[in-house]
Amino acid sequence: MKKIIVFGALTAIFLLAVSVYAHGENEENGDGWHGMMGSYGGLHEEVDKILDTGSFEQLEEIREESGMPILYWVNDSEDFKLAKDVHEKVKQSPKKIFGGCHDR
């Protein structure tokens, strides 16, 4: 019985350590960028507004000002329209999508 308790405690400590390590690895990738849109250094609301009513040129401006790869796959006005369409679909979705900003 004592061995089971010790093994369980060691397993719990190991899992906690792995979780903390993984969180740290995902938190910052070395250049100050934290990965997901929710971590764009406080720019989430601005990017959200640009996707709602803005233009590709405004997206380029915010990229240059922030130095962050915001919506890095959007390379032209056509890609920007696709991003706007996807953004609108996510907002309309009744389900939580990837823990995103428009969860309901």
Q: What is the pLDDT of residues 17-74, one digit of tens each?
A: 666 556 554 444 444 444 444 455 678 889 889 999 999 999 999 999 988 888 899 9
Residue 57 CB burial class (10 angstroms; 0-12, 13-18, ≥19): exposed
On whether both 15 and 41 belong to a single domain, the answer is: no
pLDDT at 22: 60
On whether both 26 and 8 belong to a single domain, the answer is: yes
On whether both 41 and 72 belong to a single domain, the answer is: yes
On whether both 104 and 74 belong to a single domain, the answer is: yes
On whether both 52 and 13 belong to a single domain, the answer is: no
Tally of structural domains, the chain: 2
Determine the structural domain holding residue 46 and report its residue range. Answer: 34-104
On whether both 54 and 89 belong to a single domain, the answer is: yes
On whether both 2 and 26 belong to a single domain, the answer is: yes
Distance CA(82)–CA(80), nearest Å, equals: 5
